[in-house]
Amino acid sequence: MAGAMRSITRCVFTCKLSGRKHSACLASCSGIKWPQATGERHLATKYGLLDTGTDIIPLADAKRFMTDCMMAVGSPREHAEALAVLLAEADYRGHYSHGMNRLDMYVSDIQYGNCDPKAKPSILKESPATAWVHGNNGIGAVVGNFCMALAIKKAKEAGVGWVACKGSNHYGIAGMYTMQAMASGLLGMSFTNSSPFLTPTRSKQASLGTNPISLAAPSKGDPFVLDMATTAVAVGKIEMERRKGNPIPRGWALGPTGQVETDAEVAFKTGRLMPLGGEECNSGYKGYGLGMLVEIFCGVLGGANFGRNIRKWGSQDSLANLGHCFVAVNPECFAPGFTGRMEELIDMMRQSEQVDADSPVLIAGDPERAHMKAVDDHGGVRYVKDQMATCAKLAKELNVKPLQSL
């Protein structure tokens, strides 16, 4: 979580909505989901592609490297590749915090004996539209792919597939799985619980994870891919502001006594995120409610760890035993012409009256599309320096071929 986008310093745009310097606003929008402008230079800057401190790594080599590392710690090729595809996709889409940045965490989980790289998930219970799965403490990507494939199969047979699992590990970007359903012409949803960061409204104790929700829906035009934490922001955003010496807006995080914190340094060290909405007077209890929804679908339905029972972020003192939930819905079971109407809705939103002529109205998935184009144009990703250093160290430790730049 800590390694992404550390050298973004060049963007000079001003946020027309907030009136804040873009350097601040850009950071507010990190997690790389919603850039303030869509020009290539902006995106490239935002995503580190113009960081000339390092070379460009083709995605194919990033995948090769990650596969090699995972195999070096005992993962079968198939499982290693599943994780490599997941992390490379996150980087490709601009979600660097969930990409190669986390490779050492996955490697470490295996080295500590807290994740079984060989384990395959098993089905514990089934009905026409549902399945309960045991991840058997396997790699999150392996468990996730298995569950979503099952949900897709059931959606094709019964209209809906709803799969919950226990005994899993960190599964990367939630959007990875929902896009698998979308590629089959279905709506996909995915949820996961995670280590405690979110403080319930009126509490100062981290009690739920950032618990993301993803929905992917196919369209005749661009698809809709929502992938969002139910906290106001991710920890990584606070870290970015801290590194720049900026304050953070009210509504992101609490300080040690439970007060709303605007000092990024204090907020980062405290590690207590506010739910989406922020303070109670701005309906932060709704974000807390959504975090609970995710926990109910994952930890409670799946019979996994939940809430504060989940180990702390970065801890290796016990198994993660995370729960995920995967849903696929066949739009052909409902009104004909779904993808055409999706395109119409998306066009309607994009064409809605802008506050500022320079700031286009986007839909979920637009920033990622722009980022993927930039990566394609550049032939790869220019990872930030300490990301490259971490990978070089890993290559040496695991005795695998280092990343090969263009």
Q: Which of residues 273-312 bind its own copies (CB under 8 A)?
A: 276-283, 285-287, 289-290, 292-293, 295-296, 299-303, 306-309
CB 390, CB 3: distance < 8 Å: yes
Residue closer to its own copies by CB (options 3, 277) is: 277
- Provide the 3-class DSSP secondary structure of residue 29: coil
What residues from 180 to 199 belong to the interface with its own copies (CB under 8 A)?
187, 199
Q: Which is nearer to its own copies, 228 or 370 (CB)?
A: 228
At 80, list the tokens.
């290693």
Segment contacting its own copies by CB under 8 A, of 53-61, 71-79, 109-117, 130-138? 130-138
Angle at 150 between CA 132 and CA 222, to 5 degrees: 125
> What gap in Å lies between CA 105 and CA 61, rounded to an integer?
20
Closest CA to 142 of 176, 111, 108: 176
CA angle 274, 276, 279 (to 5 degrees): 55
Q: Is 18 within 8 Å of 349 (Cβ atoms)?
A: no
Q: What is the CA radius of gyration of the chain?
A: 20
Min. distance of Cβ 74 from its own copies in angstroms?
29
With CB under 8 A as the contact rule, the residue among 65, 96, 338, 383 that binds its own copies is: 338
Listed ranges 3-11, 14-22, 46-54, 58-66: which one lies at the site for its own copies (CB under 8 A): 14-22
Nearest to 212 by CA among 178, 242, 240: 178
* Binding residues for its own copies restricted to 226-265, rule: CB under 8 A: 226, 228, 232-233, 249, 251-252, 254, 257-259
* Cβ 21 to its own copies shortest distance, Å: 11
Residue 130 binding its own copies, by CB under 8 A: yes
Q: Which of residues 35-94 bind its own copies (CB under 8 A)?
A: 36
Show Cβ contacts of residue 165 under 8 Å, excluding neighbours closer than 6 positions: 121, 132, 133, 134, 135, 143, 147, 302, 304, 323, 324, 325
Q: Give, as ranges, the residues between 210 and 229 that touch its own copies (CB under 8 A).
A: 213, 215, 217, 224, 226, 228
Q: Does 17 bind its own copies (CB under 8 A)?
A: yes
- For residue 63, the minimal CB distance to its own copies (Å) is 29
The partner residues of 279 in beta bridges, in order of sequence, read: none
- Residue 353 as a binder of its own copies (CB under 8 A): the answer is yes
Return the residues of window 318-337 that contact its own copies according to CB under 8 A: 329-331, 333-337
Region binding its own copies by CB under 8 A among candidate stretches 77-85, 111-119, 172-180, 204-212: 204-212
Name which position in 84, 85, 139, 160 contacts its own copies (CB under 8 A).
160
Can you tell me the distance from the alpha carbon of 247 to that of 266, in angstroms, rounded to the nearest whole number? 10
Pairing of strands 253-254, 224-228: unpaired
Nearest distance, CB of residue 87 and its own copies, angstroms: 23
Number of residues that bind its own copies (CB under 8 A): 101
| CB atoms closer than 10 angstroms to residue 335 | 8
The packing angle between helices 77-92 and 59-72, to 10°, is: 140
